[in-house]
């Protein structure tokens, strides 16, 4: 916004509360009173405040609307570019135990046990596949690993289940478990209730005697109630709960609990062991690869710079930041191409726009107004219409190639490939953005007095010198404004490159769209978008310094 704004308080010439206040300030020696007897200064202050509030009240609805419908979405995108809650939300226990792992070899058994609980929960909630896709961006293969493990995780601990049942068949009874783990008051209500019943509550003190079992059983009860809408008192616990019971009983030499528990505690030292680690190795040997674990640990934080690094062709690995291998460095190429093509389009727009703006500003008003319509018509025509026109004209069997063949410039067999490549994008976008170059140039050139050129010529300058030394420097602000406008618009363009650009003429925005709708890597799309946005805002800041956003005119 330019500082020469006409509506600013300082530019206002009449008496306003503000200027009157200043006058009052300057003149006031004794207390000057307003008509109602209050000191004038206070009365004017009140009026000024009321005026400010009134203005804000008029603006507030729209401001609120824009903040909710537009600013919040942009903020959401910025947030998503660093957000990485999914790992810690899906695998909370695993992430907690991995904290102590030093990254050498495989993590300890506690981690595998934590993973078995987390994965059982995730498999029921079906979040393990999403986590798999997320981690697959960082380590290819993890997607199938998680899918497979989600299917196989309910077998982990089955060995213990069988052994506990062999000791006493009562272990198979859901009610026995509910009595052991649940709060008696909860159980009484749960047995009366239909469906899920009241929310599961752990019996007092059980989490001290059997901490891991209590945790696994709580997770089980929660899933049974929220996902399946069943009563935990009617459902047999997951196999991993038996595994946790085994581990708890092995760790606690002294059990003072119900006889059933004491009986089991006496039996467990004789049990065959089925470590969770081996269970996972059986499902997929990806779990025995330390790289899998290092990836999970590296991306376990709630926020990550991973997406931005990917957007810069870097990769966050457990060993630090590394460059992508040569063949997968696509983003630098893509950003480079976006820059290069935007600059080319901008250059074409100057070349084509300058003569037109010069002609329009030097013709009599009547003629130039008519010719201006030829510039405004494309400006007002639907973008899709212009793109379809180019798609039709530039085809191999299209009008342009037909004419070239007819003239004889090109033989019928060698029709030019004008579409689905960079040439197509540059031609179509130059046409689409040309009015944005001509209009600012024209508005600047109109203000250059023709007498300057005449003066230069009468002082002996040739036509060229007069133009180059006198006229051109005065038109530079217009070129600057037009260039920035065209450049900003073109680096964010999506539709035209998508339709006429093929694979070599696409921009970074096409990649963003691809990640949103096809690869579903939203974080990367958000990171690419954030980089593009930062770039555009920087350019706008420059534009604002040169021309002022207030001076954007709309034809």
Partner 1 sequence: MGLPPYASTGQKIWHYTFLVICGLIFFFLIAPIVTIIPLSFNAENFFTFTPGMLAFDPDAYSLKHYRDFFTNPDWQQALANSVRIAPVATLLSVTLGTLAAVGLSQSHVPFRRLIMAILISPMIVPLIISAAGMYFFYSRIGLQGTYLGVVLAHAALGIPFVIITVTATLVGFDRSLTRASANLGAGPVRTFFRVQMPLILPGVISGGLFAFITSFDEVVVVLFVGSAAQKTLPWQMFIGLREQISPTILAVATILVVISIALLTVVELLRRRSERLRGLSPA
Shortest distance (Å) from residue 450 CB to partner 1: 9
Shortest distance (Å) from residue 193 CB to partner 1: 31
Shortest distance (Å) from residue 262 CB to partner 1: 51
- At 322, which helix (H) or strand (E)? strand 320-323
Shortest distance (Å) from residue 16 CB to partner 1: 5
Shortest distance (Å) from residue 394 CB to partner 1: 9
- 22 or 52: whose CB is closer to partner 1? 52
- 56 or 188: whose CB is closer to partner 1? 56
Shortest distance (Å) from residue 145 CB to partner 1: 27
> What distance, in Å, lies between the first and last C-alpha atoms of the chain?
19
Q: What is the dihedral of CA 204, 210, 211, 215, to 10 degrees?
A: -80
CB 478 within 8 Å of CB 357:
yes
Q: Which of 354, 358, 316, 317 is nearest to 483 (CA)?
A: 354
- 142 or 484: whose CB is closer to partner 1? 484
Q: What is the dihedral of CA 179, 182, 188, 191, to 10 degrees?
A: -80
- 32 or 385: whose CB is closer to partner 1? 385
Cα–Cα separations (whole angstroms), residue 105 to 58, 86, 101, 102, 313:
65, 25, 9, 9, 28
- 380 or 413: whose CB is closer to partner 1? 380
Residues in the chain, total: 555
- 340 or 541: whose CB is closer to partner 1? 541
Shortest distance (Å) from residue 288 CB to partner 1: 37
CB 317 within 8 Å of CB 298:
yes
- 255 or 363: whose CB is closer to partner 1? 363
Q: Helix 17-27 crosses helix 40-66 at what angle (to 10 degrees)?
A: 150
Separation between Cα atoms, residue 465 and residue 507, nearest integer Å: 40
CB 149 within 8 Å of CB 276:
no
Q: How far is CA 295 from the centre of its chain?
A: 22
Shortest distance (Å) from residue 368 CB to partner 1: 10
Shortest distance (Å) from residue 304 CB to partner 1: 17
CB 349 within 8 Å of CB 437:
yes
- 26 or 62: whose CB is closer to partner 1? 62
Q: Are strands 314-317 and 320-323 parallel, antiparallel or unpaired?
A: antiparallel
**What SS3 state is found at 182?**
strand
CB 375 within 8 Å of CB 462:
no
Q: Which of 324, 300, 327 is nearest to 314 (CA)?
A: 324
Structure tokens given for 251: 């760790």
- 1 or 266: whose CB is closer to partner 1? 1
């Amino acid at each position: 916004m330019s500082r020469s704004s006409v509506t600013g308080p300082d530019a206002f010439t009449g008496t306003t509360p503000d200027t009157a206040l200043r006058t009052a300030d300057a003149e006031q020696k004794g207390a000057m009173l307003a008509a109602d007897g209050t000191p004038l200064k206070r009365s004017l202050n009140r009026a000024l405040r009321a005026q400010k509030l009134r203005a804000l009240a008029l603006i507030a609805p729209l401001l609120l609307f824009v903040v909710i419908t537009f600013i919040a979405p942009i903020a959401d995108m910025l947030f998503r570019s660093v957000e990485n809650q999914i790992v810690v939300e899906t695998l909370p226990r695993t992430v907690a135990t991995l904290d102590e792992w030093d990254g050498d070899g495989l993590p300890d058994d506690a981690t595998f046990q934590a993973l078995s609980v987390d994965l059982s929960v995730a498999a029921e909630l079906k979040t393990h596949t999403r986590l798999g896709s997320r981690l697959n961006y960082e380590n290819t293969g993890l997607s199938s690993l998680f899918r497979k493990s989600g299917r196989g995780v309910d077998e982990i601990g089955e060995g213990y289940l069988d052994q506990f049942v062999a000791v006493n068949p009562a272990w198979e009874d859901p009610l026995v478990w509910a009595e052991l783990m649940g709060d008696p008051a909860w159980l009484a209500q749960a047995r009366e209730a239909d469906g899920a019943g009241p929310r599961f509550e752990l019996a007092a003190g059980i989490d001290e005697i059997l901490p891991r079992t209590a945790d696994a059983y709580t997770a089980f009860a929660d899933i049974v109630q929220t996902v399946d809408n069943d009563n935990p008192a009617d459902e047999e616990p997951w196999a991993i709960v038996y595994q946790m019971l085994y581990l708890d009983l092995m760790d606690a030499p002294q059990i003072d609990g119900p006889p059933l528990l004491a009986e089991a505690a006496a039996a467990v030292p004789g049990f065959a062991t089925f470590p969770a680690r081996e269970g996972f190795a059986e499902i997929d040997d990806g779990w025995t690869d330390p790289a899998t674990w290092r990836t999970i640990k590296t991306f376990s934080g709630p926020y990550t710079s991973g997406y931005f690094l990917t957007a810069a062709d870097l990769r966050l690995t457990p060993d630090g930041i590394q460059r992508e291998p040569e063949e997968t460095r696509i983003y630098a190429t893509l950003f480079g191409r976006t820059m290069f093509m935007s600059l080319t389009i901008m250059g074409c727009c100057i070349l084509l726009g300058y003569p037109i703006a010069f002609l329009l500003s030097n013709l009599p008003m009547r003629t130039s107004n008519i010719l201006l319509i030829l510039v405004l018509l494309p400006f007002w025509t639907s973008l899709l219409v212009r793109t379809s026109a180019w798609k039709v004209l530039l085809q191999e069997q299209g009008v342009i190639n037909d004419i070239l063949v007819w003239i004889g410039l090109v033989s019928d067999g060698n029709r030019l490939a004008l579409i689905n490549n960079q040439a197509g994008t540059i031609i179509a976008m130059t046409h689409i953005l040309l009015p944005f170059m001509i209009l600012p140039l024209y508005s600047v050139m109109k203000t250059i007095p023709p007498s300057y050129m005449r003066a230069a010529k009468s002082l002996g300058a040739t036509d060229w010198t007069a133009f180059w030394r006198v006229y051109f420097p005065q038109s530079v602000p217009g070129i600057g404004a037009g260039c920035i406008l065209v450049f900003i618009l073109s680096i964010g363009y999506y539709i035209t490159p998508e339709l006429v650009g093929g694979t070599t003429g696409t921009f970074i925005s096409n990649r963003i769209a691809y990640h949103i709708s096809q690869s579903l890597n939203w974080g990367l799309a958000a990171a690419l978008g954030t980089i593009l946005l930062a770039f555009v805002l920087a350019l706008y800041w420059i534009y604002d310094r040169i021309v002022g956003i207030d001076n954007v005119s709309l034809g």
